[in-house]
Amino acid sequence: MNGRRIIRRFGLCGILVATSFAAAQSGILSDFQSWNEVDVSARLAKSVDTSWVSQGRLSTEYPNPETYLSGIDLKLAIGRYLEITPSYYYLGATGLTGRSGHFQVPMLTATARNTWNRWTVADRNRFLGAIGEGNDFWIYVNRPRVDYSLPLARWRTSAFVWDEVVYISLFHEWSRNRFASGLRKSFNEYWATDVYYLRQDDSRIQPRRINGLGVTLEIRIR
């Protein structure tokens, strides 16, 4: 199977997921957003990395920034297949009326990952708390991801797809799903980027439907 066929299949998968939610529902708001992230990482020891993460999400329909986040990760490699990451972030969000909320977000992430030939499969499990505004709550997020390295080695490019389900303790249910499909390009050992299409559906929080384009830039300084 050549690289073009792989890209077409990943793109078709994204379109099918998006159109499957197309039936109109009363009172459901939609939005198109830009999701932008910069990760700057450095190696502290053989199995320990640290990263500074900054993220901003911009809306085309509602007050901006929709979400902004900044914080630090400490990534610990446990053997060949497991990575444990404690994190601490500051999160700000703007509601549809323009009212903003601010939270401290401690987080613990466990990611299992393995590679077979051109395929890499990962499963990320994330537990986080949202502390602030007098209404603290916690969230659990599970995100399986599949990457396929395209055949031309000089491209240093892979196609990927992931699907993320979210449990929010405020609602006592799995209330959110995110799907993404895109490309990852490694320029060298210090620079890489993900560019992707994203669809989010939420049963509780407006806007209920989000389509978006995301760009993640990764920079390694040592």
For 124-162, letters b (16+ CB in 10 Å) and e give bebebbbeeeeeeeebebebebebbbbeeeeeebbbbbb
What is the pLDDT, as a whole number, of residue 9? Answer: 45
CA 35 to chain CA centroid, Å, is 9
In order of their start, the domains of the chain are 3-21+28-220 (2.40.160)
What is the pLDDT, as a whole number, of residue 45? Answer: 94
Cα separation of 196 and 152, whole Å?
Answer: 20
Residue-level pLDDT, tens digit, the chain, 222 residues: 444 444 444 444 443 334 333 333 448 999 999 999 999 999 999 999 999 999 999 999 999 999 999 999 999 999 999 999 999 999 999 989 888 899 999 999 999 999 999 999 999 999 999 999 777 999 999 999 999 999 877 789 999 999 999 999 999 999 999 999 999 999 999 999 999 999 999 999 999 999 999 999 999 998
Count of C-beta atoms within a 10 Å radius of residue 12: 11
